[in-house]
Amino acid sequence: MSRILLFNKPYGVICQFSRDGMHPTLADYIAVPEVYPAGRLDTDSEGLLLLTDDGKLQHRITDPRHKLPKTYLVQAEGVPDEAALLKLRQGVQLKDGMTLPAEVRLISEPVDLWPRTPPVRFRKEIPTSWLELTIREGRNRQVRRMTAAVGFPTLRLIRWRIGDWSLEGLPPGKWRSLPTA
């Protein structure tokens, strides 16, 4: 029977078990043998990371051909107008090519969101906004590059959902195991 772990990766943690001497790693939070991350989440991003001991499942989660939706909560610098949201919905030209269309909407600041350590830099003159953004590919730093390309850089990025798996009710630095078939 295979295992799936849902982990709420805190800011500053690297997505590997081996130590690099500079950052906390998965080994600082998860003492479960033979599970490996299904995908990556940048050190400066937070949120849902799936780990499994099932190589086929790991492949299905990470392979772009399966186009598994990944939903992010994005704190952006500025307030995107409808034209910027439309660009994200149609796909954005990046240096490595056009992205697939994203699902995106402006949302209120999530009420149950944990504080980030260190906090996002506050600037009184520049407002921020929150987006819920879903993509179906996983290029390097894709969400950050997409929001920057439409003029609203990402300040805080939290992966909230991968497919049917969600971060709901899982505090930062904690994990839970799911039953699998």
User: Could you give the residue numbers annotated as active site?
Assistant: 42
Q: Where are the alpha helices (DSSP H) in 72-130?
A: 82-90
> Omega of the bond prior to 118 within 30 degrees of 0, cis?
yes
Cα angle, residue 176 at apex, residues 105 and 118 outer, rounded to 5°: 60
| CA–CA distances in Å: residue 66 to residues 87, 98, 128 | 24, 18, 33
d(CA 44, CA 22): 14
- 76 touches 153 (CB < 8 A): yes
